[in-house]
């Protein structure tokens, strides 16, 4: 009798688990993450080179200006002020005192854990790596030297990557990425 009861419970558990479709595979989870349009990682730096700049900062502005990434001109009110140059089309002016650049984006590298629960929900821990855009990659050392304090801390984190928590939902059409934290 116990054996029959155990077999019935096991069979019911199997049927309940299969009712909603296939479990979320690592490949499907990764594919859904890659399809999501990742938010750009932005950096900011001063549009006005400081008069008492260190050699590294002065050289960074010079390198960007010589490569036409920025164009700097002297103004009476603000001193030297820089704007995006012909080769800096992805730079934007933020207010009158900052320039910003979408330096790249986070891309999924590996999925370390997938947990599924009843009701068609799954979660995954995903290791993300930073993928730089071409302009940032070419002039990374100059941009890194010019980082504003808040941006510099964020850029340090880029080198090590990060882990995010992704949530997936299953409906009659299959699995969908619902949230990334």
pTM of the entire structure? 0.72
Residue 3 falls within a domain, yes or no? no
Residue 173 falls within a domain, yes or no? yes
The counts of H helices and E strands in the chain are 6, 8
Residue 4 falls within a domain, yes or no? no
User: Which domain covers residue 170, as residue numbers?
Assistant: 21-180
Per-residue pLDDT reduced to its tens digit, 88-125? 999 999 887 899 999 999 889 999 889 988 778 999 99
Residue 104 falls within a domain, yes or no? yes
Residue 174 falls within a domain, yes or no? yes
Task: Provide the domain count of the chain.
Answer: 1
Per-residue model confidence (pLDDT) at position 3: 42
Residue 85 falls within a domain, yes or no? yes
């Amino acid at each position: 009798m116990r054996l029959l009861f155990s077999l019935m419970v096991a069979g019911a558990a199997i049927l309940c688990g299969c009712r909603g479709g296939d479990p979320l595979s690592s490949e499907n989870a990764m594919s859904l993450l890659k399809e999501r349009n990742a938010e750009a990682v932005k950096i900011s730096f001063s549009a006005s080179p400081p008069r008492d700049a260190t050699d590294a900062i002065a050289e960074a502005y010079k390198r960007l200006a010589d490569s036409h990434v920025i164009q700097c001109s002297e103004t009476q009110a603000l001193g030297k002020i820089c704007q995006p140059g012909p080769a800096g089309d992805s730079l934007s002016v933020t207010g009158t005192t900052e320039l910003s650049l979408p330096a790249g984006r986070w891309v999924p590298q590996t999925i370390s854990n997938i947990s599924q629960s009843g009701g068609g929900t799954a979660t995954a821990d995903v290791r993300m790596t930073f993928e730089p855009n071409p302009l940032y990659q070419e002039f990374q050392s100059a941009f890194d030297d010019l980082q504003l304090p808040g941006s510099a801390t964020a850029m340090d984190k880029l080198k090590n990557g990060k882990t995010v928590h992704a949530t997936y939902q299953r409906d009659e059409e299959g699995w969908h990425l619902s949230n990334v934290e």
